[in-house]
């Protein structure tokens, strides 16, 4: 019995070498790249927020209002040098906060599609906080001490999952004695479709 592997679109058949191996050429790409090509990959960024104390401020709230899970492969923190602050600062990711000034009165921000030609938008609640914004629920899942201000930090995951209806918050505590530190916090995500 002979079996022929044939393309349904071009009619081409597969080549088999002398050792009975099918010859093929393939390309591969990351899941994030495949999702970006399909318009299902997004960046959520607070842009610049000025922190004027050394106390914790909840700066980013993201809730999945979508019908599919999201994969979060990266968070990032871009911090200018602190005025007056000494030592490191703290970045925390909290799971499923329930209330607080960030959730009650934060500024809505728009997730940006990594495929600049895609009209797709993300079904999400995305809020930006200010100095002193709070959240209720202290379920810290990821905590990072950053040894100095005036730095850019990318933290890669494999991978954080935000299921439908779940949420996260990024909270920043500047260095001791801080009186002014500009910071941007954000994350990249893609829809699991």
pLDDT, tens digit, 9 for 90 and up, residues 33-44: 999 999 999 999
| Sign, Cα dihedral of 17, 22, 24, 28 | negative
* Average pLDDT score over the chain: 94
In the predicted structure, residue 153 carries a pLDDT above the cut 80: yes
d(CA 120, CA 165): 20
pTM of the model: 0.88
Q: Name the pLDDT band for 63 (thresholds 50, 70, 90).
A: very high
In the predicted structure, residue 1 carries a pLDDT above the cut 70: no
d(CA 156, CA 24): 33
pLDDT at 150: 87
Domains and CATH numbers, the chain: 42-191 (2.60.120.680)
Which carries the bigger pLDDT value, residue 27 or residue 62?
A: 62
Give the mean model confidence (pLDDT) for residues 64-77.
Answer: 97
In the predicted structure, residue 189 carries a pLDDT above the cut 80: yes
* Lowest-confidence segment of 15-29, 32-46, 151-165 by average pLDDT: 15-29
Q: Name the pLDDT band for 120 (thresholds 50, 70, 90).
A: very high
Main-chain phi, psi angles of 138, to 5 degrees: -110, 50
Q: Name the pLDDT band for 13 (thresholds 50, 70, 90).
A: confident
Q: Give 59-85 as a DSSP string.
A: EEEEEE-SSS-EEEEEEEEEEPPPBS-
In the predicted structure, residue 2 carries a pLDDT above the cut 80: no
Which carries the bigger pLDDT value, residue 16 or residue 85?
A: 85
Place of tokens 């999201």: 70
* Lowest-confidence segment of 39-48, 52-61, 126-135, 143-152 by average pLDDT: 143-152
Of 179, 187, 125, 120, whose CA–CA distance to 153 is shortest? 187
Residues 6+ apart with CB under 8 A from 102: 58, 59, 61, 127, 129, 133, 134, 135, 169
Angle at 158 between CA 169 and CA 64, to 5 degrees: 40
């Amino acid at each position: 019995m002979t079996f022929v592997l044939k393309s349904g679109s071009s009619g081409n058949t597969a080549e088999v070498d002398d050792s009975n191996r099918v010859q093929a050429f393939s390309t591969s790409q990351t899941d994030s790249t495949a999702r970006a090509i399909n318009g299902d990959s997004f960046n959520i960024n607070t842009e610049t927020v000025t922190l004027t104390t050394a106390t914790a401020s909840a700066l980013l709230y993201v809730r999945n209002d979508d019908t599919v899970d999201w994969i979060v492969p990266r968070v990032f923190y871009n911090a200018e040098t602190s005025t007056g602050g000494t030592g490191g600062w703290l970045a925390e990711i909290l799971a499923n906060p329930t209330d607080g000034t960030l959730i009650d009165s934060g500024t809505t921000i728009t997730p940006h599609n990594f495929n600049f030609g895609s009209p797709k938008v993300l079904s999400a609640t995305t809020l930006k906080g200010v100095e002193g914004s709070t959240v209720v629920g202290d379920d810290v899942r990821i905590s990072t001490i950053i040894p100095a201000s005036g730095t850019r930090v990318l933290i890669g995951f494999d991978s954080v999952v935000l299921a439908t209806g779940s949420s996260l918050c990024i909270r920043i505590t500047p260095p001791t004695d801080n009186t002014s530190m500009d910071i941007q916090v954000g994350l990249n995500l893609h829809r699991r479709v």
